[in-house]
Chain A
Amino acid sequence: MYRYNDFDAAFLAERNAQFRAQVARRIDGSLTEDEFKPLRLMNGLYLQLHAYMLRVAIPYGTLGSAQMRQLAMIADRWDKGYGHFTTRQNIQYNWPKLPDVPDILDALAEVQLHAIQTSGNTIRNVTADHFAGAARDEIEDPRPVAELIRQWSTDHPEFQFLPRKFKIAVTGSPRDRAVTRAHDIGLRMVRNAAGEPGFEVLVGGGLGRTPMIAKVIRDFLPKADLLPYLEAIVSVYNLLGRRDNKYKARIKITVHENGIDTVREKVEARFAQLRPLFSGVDQQMLDGIEAQFAPPAFRNAPVDLFEAAYQTDPVFRAWADVNLTPHKAEGYAIVSISLKKHGATPGDATSAQMRVMADLAERFGHDELRVSHEQNIVLPHVHKSDLPALYRALRDADLATANIGLASDIIACPGMDYCALATARSIPVAQEIARRFEDMKLEHDIGPLKIKISGCINACGHHHVGHIGILGLDRAGVENYQITLGGDGTEDAAIGSRTGPGFAYDEITDAIERILMAYLDLRSDPGETFLQAYRRVGADPFKAALYEAPAEETREPAHA
């Protein structure tokens, strides 16, 4: 894992001291809110519906046990004993008090974490595949490159006042677990004809009000050219991006209005100017960073304990079948810990759970944890012989829900329960849908399914790329929920299409159930996933189930 050097530590200490003085001046009245707001946002501090909200970056989602324990300590000492893990690999605290925030930032700095550039029109936390460094299908660990991008982008003087916020995601695997196609810049590691690793560079993806899938700006970018090329893209956007209209300011609009060919020409021209200015120091830095991301010393041991538990304990087996992913090292597995117990708030972990996960990472997982963009926690490197013990410990902490990738593994933004921008609630909708499928015992039969919910058009819950997306709206002072179908956040990314009129708060769970009952009826065989079925038959049968079925009959099949 990347360790801060003296420069990094001094930089954070100085930033925190500066912010401490700014908070003091706001409280004593020498700064107005108008003056203070941009300063607090530069340090990740929002003011939400019921309280302040502090957003802490977890770079490329990677955490050590000590960092996780510190997050738990902060939750206990300055918040209400829990934290909310988000789709951009951040943790959000929902209840900090303004006078405490400087102390919280200092506590974060003790473990090399911060909240810088987690808000504002700047390059945000760089996200990456949550299985990075562990996935069997990986070309290379994308995190050293993500760390290089972080160092380049943090406090970059030219990019503090971009037209709008700017998000970069990186994946080292052909299977895209970082939603690269819905980011301002997506980097997908590929190999060229000579077998050398480099990047396919995507630009202009984004969700929100005008969702768009990113376009390829470069088929193959050698690794050594990465920073100058990124700098070229961001500087072209900085000039070309619209500042007249906030809603048209994202790079996706720049690409849409100018065309990808024009943008590419300008970027390549700028790249030609910038390339010679990068003397190679960045590559020396990358070498140093790569050394810090060396894989842990994997051990060679028998997996009998795992096999025995798998054969004899059906509950363990059900968990193992759903929550484990193949690891690149023999005898190892990637463990996903669900933060989506049925009826719980998606993405929330209590401080006690954070400590359990930190302990387990230390005991069984080479001291590493990840935050996934799906609001779960991952232990990337666990030897299979440790899985039965790990499972028991997770179960005792209420963390062993076997639902990764299933109907109840729902992404939900904070919505109207916390967010000042929301038009409707998201969390209780996710809770009710999860409980419904738990009651019906159908989610294993339904199989892989991504339901994603946002409480407003900003799409923080990624609803556009959900197989089933739900968007909460305000219809004349009443919560109303619009459904989209067929979205996909992977390498085959697609934006879902709207089914038709929305549903009331107390109708939405039934509506989702009708869609899934229709899927169970029409799938060609149990192996055909919801998304495959949707792609085969189109939206009509689902619309029919949603809008034409008589209300009383629709629930029948579920309980028959």
Chain B
Amino acid sequence: MARRPFTPKVITANALLEGDVVYFTAADVWTRHLAEAEILTDEAHADLRLLDAARQADQVVGPYLADMAEGADGPQPTHFREEFRRTGPSNYFHGKQAEH
């Protein structure tokens, strides 16, 4: 079966204490801002970075690779789920959208 080409990704998870959405940076720390996330374009490297992220299981819950497009302002969600995760709920101005 033909494999689909690897598309850019970031590592994301929920913070252990607050539960909010966090992203893994190139400096091995977690950020609240998608723009600061490390963008991963090579599959083997992405898998290794996910292992690095998973070692910080005392800080986060459920790290995974999320699809992104590379934009001028950093990674941009390609799926509406990741868009909502980076923004917050649509019924109230709560969550990430209220933190800036």
Contacts and interface: CB of A to CB of B under 8 A. Distances in A.
A405 B73 CA distance: 48
Nearest to B18: A97
Contact of B91 (A27, A47, A52, A431): A431
Interface string A70-100: 0000000000100000000000001101110
Interface residues of A, number: 30
A52 B14 CA distance: 9
Q: Which of A32, A48, A417, A474 has the most CB of B within 10 A?
A: A417
B94 interface: yes
Interface residues of B, number: 25
Contacts of B94: 50, 80, 95
Contacts, number: 67
A49 B61 contact: no
Nearest to B67: A477
Interface in A135-157: none
Contacts of A550: none
A275 B16 CA distance: 48
Contact of A98 (B16, B78, B88, B92): B16
A353 interface: no
B90 A27 contact: no
A479 B16 contact: no
Contact of A52 (B19, B88, B96): B19
A45 to B, nearest CB: 10
A516 interface: no
Given A32-B57, A33-B57, A47-B62, A97 B17 contact: yes
A33 B21 contact: no
B90 A428 contact: yes
A49 B85 contact: yes
A340 interface: no
A29 B58 CA distance: 6
Nearest to A80: B94
Q: Is the interface of B mostly helix, strand, loop or mixed?
A: loop
A408 B19 CA distance: 32
Nearest to A82: B92
Interface string A413-430: 000111000000101100
A159 to B, nearest CB: 28
A283 B20 CA distance: 48
A52 B58 CA distance: 16
Nearest to B14: A47
B81 to A, nearest CB: 7
A348 B91 CA distance: 11
B19 A50 contact: yes
Contacts of A51: 18-20, 95
Contacts of A345: 91-92
Interface of B: 14, 16-21, 57-58, 61-62, 78-81, 84-85, 88-92, 94-96
Interface of A: 26-27, 29, 32-33, 47-52, 80, 94-95, 97-99, 345, 348, 416-418, 425, 427-428, 431, 474, 477-479
